[in-house]
Amino acid sequence: MPFHFWLSKISSGAIYMDALHHDTVQALMRISTTADQEFCEGYGLLLHKVERIFRTEERWMEEIDSPELKHHRAQHARILGNLYQGQSHIARGDTQFGRNIIDKSLPEWLFFHASTMDSTLAQELRMATLAG
């Protein structure tokens, strides 16, 4: 999935969440064009960025006592598991495995996750703000 498509089509309606998504896509775009020797470091930085973004979303969900928190965390855990598996392959010199994650798996998953679960979260956050 082309990254520019991702940027132009995903909007949760929450500026702060859209900023996180935009930041992730920008990081994906940067790493997708790096040479193999820089790919390992870039992958690690991306992994830490994704972890930080997921923690932010989960903190928001805790703050509003979201009923979807457990399911959302499980989705995050699954993709982080895949990213850690990729990091293991990359550390052994298999950069192609990592590039497949960066170029295909992660963008597709993020697009789906953002357009479903994160969209729902954005709506919950807006409702909590109005109620508060």
Q: For the whole model, what pTM was predicted?
A: 0.86
User: What are 114-125's pLDDT values in tens digits?
Assistant: 888 888 898 898
Would you tell me how many other CB atoms lie within 10 Å of the CB of residue 14?
A: 20
**pLDDT of the residue at 3:** 54
Average pLDDT, the chain: 86
**In this structure, which topology does domain 3-131 adopt according to CATH?**
Four Helix Bundle (Hemerythrin (Met), subunit A) (1.20.120)
What residue segments make up the domains of the chain, in order of their start?
3-131
- How much of the chain exceeds pLDDT 70, in percent? 88
Is the pLDDT at 81 greater than 80? The verdict is yes
pLDDT tens string 4-23: 555 556 666 667 777 878 88
C-alpha angle 87-50-73 in degrees, rounded to nearest 5: 105
Containing 97, the helix (H) or strand (E) segment is: helix 95-100
